[in-house]
């Protein structure tokens, strides 16, 4: 899949060119006093670069606090005047874009509930035409990579080249410790498809509780993400929205002290040489694995031909159950995670079934 976008490197549009990018501020702007207090306390930690506050809050149900709206733009303007922090807020409609830009907001972000709707994204893209402002696109609430990419493409085609993605997790399909399941493979695949696209992680929304922010943030950096957006409030327990996932400015600093930002490369020549040798050995093993899988599939094809001649079903559940249990036990003897082994052989078995279907249904 070839995805061609015109993206300006983040180091060219951020005044502090050193990564990681750190965005902090309350979930919602609640009052001028709350916004300014949060901003001044956050500014004391020199690592924070951008102040965030939601003004228009799309809520799941009515009659909840839905933000102060346009009024809060003046508060963000005061943050810019009184601190060194840039400002950012979420836009969900075309009119929000014009109002935020006119008020001097530095960066816009598109929320997960908006990203899921191409009509809404296109409305925002149309409003952005002719403007030169950074835009961050959160993933949609459902785990749909193409929908995420489509939203990024729409914004980029509107002429926005200062663009990035925010990974905030996906609505979980089953009970989870997370408010939104991280499903890390999706942002990793996004990075593979668009390597020049900066990706920032929102551990507040993924975790849904302040205790999970640090481990999620560390995982994000370990997966080569370029920054974090952490919801920070001077009195989080009494916040009007998402109280459990917000932290105090002091707690933010403690989290940043704990998280280790690792680099994709290292200047140590001995390390680089050893790493290259080990990667070479992995490449050889991977080639052997591919050859063995091809041999296995060849045997599957022979089995399918015999089954067809003898009018035998493709799937024998007892055989599959026996195979799976046997492979898991053998993997455990090699200190391999049972879930890892199970996932591999489930995929192998599904592909074996598909190949047998082709052969047995051929005329």
Q: Are 110 and 135 in contact (CB under 8 A)?
A: yes
Q: Are 50 and 83 in contact (CB under 8 A)?
A: no
CATH superfamily of the 10-258 domain: Aldolase class I (3.20.20.70)
pLDDT tens column, 99-124: 999 999 999 999 999 999 999 999 99
Predicted TM-score of the model (pTM)? 0.86
Q: Closest by alpha carbon to 55, among 22, 32, 39, 38?
A: 32
Per-residue pLDDT band for 57 (boundaries 50, 70, 90) equals confident
Helix axes 213-222, 249-258, angle to 10 degrees: 40
Per-residue pLDDT band for 233 (boundaries 50, 70, 90) equals very high
Indicate if the pLDDT at residue 187 is higher than 90: yes
The reported pLDDT for the residue numbered 59 is 66
Percent of the chain predicted with pLDDT > 90: 86
Q: Are 97 and 128 in contact (CB under 8 A)?
A: yes
Q: Are 222 and 195 in contact (CB under 8 A)?
A: no
The reported pLDDT for the residue numbered 65 is 74
Indicate the average pLDDT of the chain.
94
Q: Closest by alpha carbon to 266, among 257, 258, 275?
A: 275
Q: Which fold has domain 269-361?
A: Chorismate Mutase Domain, subunit A (1.20.59)
Helix (H, G, I), strand (E, B) or coil at 360: helix
Largest CA distance in the chain: 82
Per-residue pLDDT band for 1 (boundaries 50, 70, 90) equals low
Domain ranges of the chain: 10-258, 269-361
* Kind and range of the H or E run holding 33: helix 32-43
Calpha distance 89→73 (Å, rounded): 9
pLDDT tens column, 306-340: 999 999 999 888 999 999 999 999 999 999 999 99
pLDDT tens column, 8-37: 999 888 877 677 999 999 999 999 999 999
Q: Do domains 10-258 and 269-361 have the same CATH topology?
A: no
**Mean pLDDT to the nearest integer, 221-233:** 96
pLDDT tens column, 58-84: 766 676 777 799 999 999 999 999 999
Calpha distance 113→120 (Å, rounded): 10
Q: Closest by alpha carbon to 204, among 50, 1, 26?
A: 26
């Amino acid at each position: 899949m070839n995805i061609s976008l015109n993206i300006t490197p983040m180091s060219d549009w951020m005044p502090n060119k050193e990564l990681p990018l750190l965005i902090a501020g309350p979930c919602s702007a609640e009052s001028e006093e709350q916004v300014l207090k949060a901003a001044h306390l956050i500014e004391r930690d020199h690592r924070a670069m951008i102040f965030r506050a939601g003004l228009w809050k799309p809520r799941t149900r009515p009659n909840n606090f839905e933000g102060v709206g346009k009024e809060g733009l003046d508060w963000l303007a005061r943050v810019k005047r009184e601190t060194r922090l840039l400002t950012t807020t979420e836009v969900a409609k075309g009119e929000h874009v014009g109002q935020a830009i006119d008020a001097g907001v530095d960066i816009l972000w598109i929320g997960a509930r908006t990203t899921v709707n191409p009509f809404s994204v296109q409305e925002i893209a149309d409003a952005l035409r002719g403007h030169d402002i950074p835009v961050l696109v959160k993933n949609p609430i459902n785990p749909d990579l193409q929908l995420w990419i489509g939203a990024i493409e729409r914004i980029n085609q509107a002429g926005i080249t200062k663009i990035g993605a925010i990974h905030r997790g996906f609505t979980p399909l089953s009970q989870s410790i997370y408010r939104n399941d991280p499903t890390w493979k999706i942002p990793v695949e996004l990075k593979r498809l668009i390597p020049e696209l900066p990706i920032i992680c929102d551990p507040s929304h993924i975790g849904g509780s302040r205790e999970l922010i640090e481990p999620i943030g560390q995982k994000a950096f370990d997966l080569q993400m370029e920054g974090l957006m952490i919801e920070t409030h001077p009195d989080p327990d009494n916040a009007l929205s998402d109280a459990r996932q917000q932290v105090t400015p002091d707690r933010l600093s403690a989290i940043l002290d704990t998280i280790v930002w690792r680099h994709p490369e290292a200047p140590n020549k001995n390390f680089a040489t050893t790493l290259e040798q080990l990667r070479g050995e992995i490449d050889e093993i991977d080639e052997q694995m591919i050859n063995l899988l091809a041999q296995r599939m060849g045997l599957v094809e022979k089995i399918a031909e015999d089954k067809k001649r003898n009018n035998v079903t493709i799937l024998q559940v007892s055989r599959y159950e026996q195979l799976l249990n046997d492979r898991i036990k053998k993997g455990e003897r090699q200190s391999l995670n049972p879930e890892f082994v199970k996932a591999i052989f489930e995929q192998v078995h599904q592909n074996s079934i598909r190949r047998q279907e082709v052969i047995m249904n051929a005329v």
